[in-house]
Amino acid sequence: MSKVLSKRIENLRKIMYARSVAVIGASNKKGTVGNEIILRLKEFGFKGKIYPVNLKYESVEDITAFASVIDIKKDVDVAVIAIPNINVLSAIEECHKANINGVIIISSGFKEIGAEGLKLEQDIIKTIKKYEMTLIGPNCLGVINSSPNVNFNACFAPENPVAGKIGLATQSGALASGIINILPQIRVGLGQMISLGNQADINVLDVIELWEHDDNINQILIYIESIPDSKRFKEICARVNKVKPILVIKSGRSSIGTKAAASHTGSLAGDDTLADALLSSAGVIREKYLREMFITAQVFNNCNLPKNEKLAIITNAGGPGVMATDTASEYNIELAELSDATKQTLKQFLPPQAGINNPLDVIASATHEQYTKAVDTVLSDSNVGMLMVIYLYITEQNDTGIIEDLEELKNKYLDKPIVAVFMTTTDFPIRLKKIIKNCTIPIFSYAVDAMHGISRLLERKHSLCVERNETPEIKVDEKAVKNILEQYKKSGIKQISTYSSLKIFEYYNIPVAKFEPAYTFKDAEKIAEKIGYPVVLKISSKTISHKTEVGGVVTNIRNKNELQNEWNALFNRLEKLNEIENLECVIVMKQINSKREFVAGIVNKQGENVAMFGVGGIFLEVLKEVAFSACPLSAYNAENLIKKTKAFNMLKEVRGFKPADLTKMRNILLSLSQMVEENSEINEIDINPIMVSSEGEIFTVDARIVLK
């Protein structure tokens, strides 16, 4: 436990490690919240003092009661308040008079019910701040600390948890109760639970910081509906995740974000996209479903990180082995090649019909001893780093015995994670518990679940192997950039022209295809001769955002005659649209022949800059093969962003095209990130497309920058 804690976190720790608790609203009436909390405290074996507070009773559940916390006359670490919302404020005043600085408000009826409740909650917040108190809630389930020297269960969930080292923070009290019920079923124990409720004071970030320094917590599970203070969230999670894995479920994935008309990046960045980008850049694992969170938690709780990332599969039935192999491929998990020595050893004791490859099929008739020996032999192979054991109850009930053997082998091969997929009888968990009280082998019914857990284990390993904050410095012509931005700010025009946007890109060392501005046909002719045919003509307008929609881009102009014809045709189109006056210039650009097009951009939404990268071109909005990451980007963030989509495969050597320089593509994203961090007036940046030539050269050929 670190001693360097802020006062806020120290106060929260004092609540979670309470030595005395007052329950305001304690009751003898069965089924009430005030009664359930007293019962949970007693049943769980709270090591401290319990003080029921209710002026109606002399005692509650055989514990002496008090009319007010002021009457207790002893030190109290925390007060749990479970009374009608209109009486909560006066209860807090009494807590202050009794020198109780920690408060958990179970009561509901605050901002979640509307304006009237919001006013009550705001009054409570003011009072809490005035007295420098610490509040969990309101509208929460309570808290649990299963540390054996505390045994503090101050919540009204019907079941007491099984002790462990999982930290659970949730905005949903009902969900917390459900998770408490499920964790024992997956043989994972709960260390602490904090139901956040409305997060009027203590929020999820405070809880993560608390658990960062708590040796009784080794894994953090979070359910949130909103992310408070996104910059602090990223900073704290990125730091804590280095020592303890953080699994997050962020609800509201289906909500429709506000679309920005000016850029592709803005139109594709919905509200959940922002959340996903933030969670990803913070290094946490975002799970979509509770089932997946439980799978990952079970694997993280029981498996060390592998040194070797190649997987072996052992099965007693061919079909499940083949399906597991397919699933491994879908998760990009590589199967190990068993050595010749391993295969020869296996042939000596397995049935002759056994499939001596990976997956290894010991067949249904294999005995318990043969199965265990096969597992030991495969794990001893240096080519194998992880093992999935699949067992189907077919002829002989060896399931519990095999798990018992796996427990022993796990200790023999500590750096080789073992997960089991057992398709056996419904009474298996009961039979297993009789033999092994504390089973540490993750056991699943389906290979896809086990594979999900393995993939998260590898993701965790990769995350810890990189330096997230290392960022190369991009040299910039700051003065030239500021001059352009100031001109537009003074003019009141928010959308910077294509030409000026391309110039800003050049000043930020973003590779741009050769280009120059033309104001007359003679200018265009000279530029084309200078940079060499074929060339592209594209308008740079103060008003037109999407140039292709108005015929503002003409490609593959091969000579002077074509240039003359296309120049005239271009101006005829603009004249019909009454856009001549808004034309800044016509850009003459070197034609880049490319069949690989990408998109990159930045958008500021809800005060946060978010970067995008993916497959570009005219079908961008149709394909939507893009990914997002919160800014500022580090080198790791930028590379990870590129690798998130199928666009990454297009950067490799493919169909005779040479591979692109990943570092150069990464640096484009870093330049964009630096650009918005250094120039807060920029609201959106869009590059579509970034072209990669058949030789692997990278060129930006279009640009859009929009100011706030």
Rounded average pLDDT over 223-250: 88
Q: Which amino acid is at 701?
A: V
Extended strands (E) in 427-520: 443-444, 495-496, 515-518
pLDDT digits 0-9 by tens, 155-184: 999 989 999 999 999 999 889 999 999 998
Q: Is the pLDDT of residue 294 over 90?
A: yes
Task: Determine the pLDDT at residue 390.
Answer: 96
User: Domain residue spans in the chain?
Assistant: 7-217, 304-464, 478-590, 596-707
DSSP class of residue 634 equals P
Task: Determine the pLDDT at residue 267.
Answer: 43
Task: Determine the pLDDT at residue 401.
Answer: 92
Does 596-707 match 478-590 at the fold level?
Answer: no
Extended strands (E) in 31-71: 49-53, 59-60, 63-64
Architecture (CATH level 2) of domain 596-707: 2-Layer Sandwich (3.30)
What fold, for 304-464? Rossmann fold (3.40.50)
Kindly give the interhelix angle for 368-379 and 399-412, rounded to the nearest 10 degrees.
20
Rounded average pLDDT over 635-654: 84
Can you read off the two tokens belonging to residue 596? 């690989």
Q: Is the pLDDT of residue 261 over 50?
A: no
Percentage of the chain surpassing pLDDT 90?
68
Percentage of the chain surpassing pLDDT 70?
94
Q: Give the CATH number of domain 478-590.
A: 3.30.1490.20
Task: Determine the pLDDT at residue 581.
Answer: 84
Rounded average pLDDT over 419-434: 91
Task: Determine the pLDDT at residue 304.
Answer: 96
* Stronger pLDDT, 608 or 569, i.e. the higher one: 569
Task: Determine the pLDDT at residue 608.
Answer: 81
Task: Determine the pLDDT at residue 259.
Answer: 39
Task: Determine the pLDDT at residue 306.
Answer: 96
Task: Determine the pLDDT at residue 596.
Answer: 87
Q: Is the pLDDT of residue 632 over 70?
A: yes
Residues 124 and 99: beta-carbon distance below 8 Å: no
Task: Determine the pLDDT at residue 264.
Answer: 38
Q: Which CATH superfamily is domain 7-217 in?
A: NAD(P)-binding Rossmann-like Domain (3.40.50.720)
* Stronger pLDDT, 41 or 229, i.e. the higher one: 41
Distance CA 372, CA 380 (A): 12
Span of 72-76, 190-194, 548-552 with lowest mean pLDDT:
548-552
Buried b / exposed e over 601-639, threshold 16 CB at 10 Å, is bbbbbeebbbbbbbbbbeebeeeebbbbbbbbbbbbbbb
Task: Determine the pLDDT at residue 339.
Answer: 97
Q: Is the pLDDT of residue 257 over 50?
A: no
Closest CA to 34 of 99, 126, 107: 107
Rounded average pLDDT over 431-450: 93
Task: Determine the pLDDT at residue 542.
Answer: 77
Strand partners, 223: 170, 249
pLDDT digits 0-9 by tens, 109-137: 999 999 999 999 999 999 999 999 999 99
Q: Is the pLDDT of residue 630 over 60?
A: yes
Task: Determine the pLDDT at residue 2.
Answer: 43
pLDDT digits 0-9 by tens, 28-51: 999 999 999 999 999 999 999 999
Task: Determine the pLDDT at residue 365.
Answer: 87
Distance CA 46, CA 63 (A): 13
Buried b / exposed e over 271-283, threshold 16 CB at 10 Å, is ebbbbbbbbbbbb
Task: Determine the pLDDT at residue 541.
Answer: 85
Span of 91-100, 215-224, 531-540, 650-659 with lowest mean pLDDT:
650-659
Task: Determine the pLDDT at residue 1.
Answer: 43
Q: Is the pLDDT of residue 262 over 60?
A: no
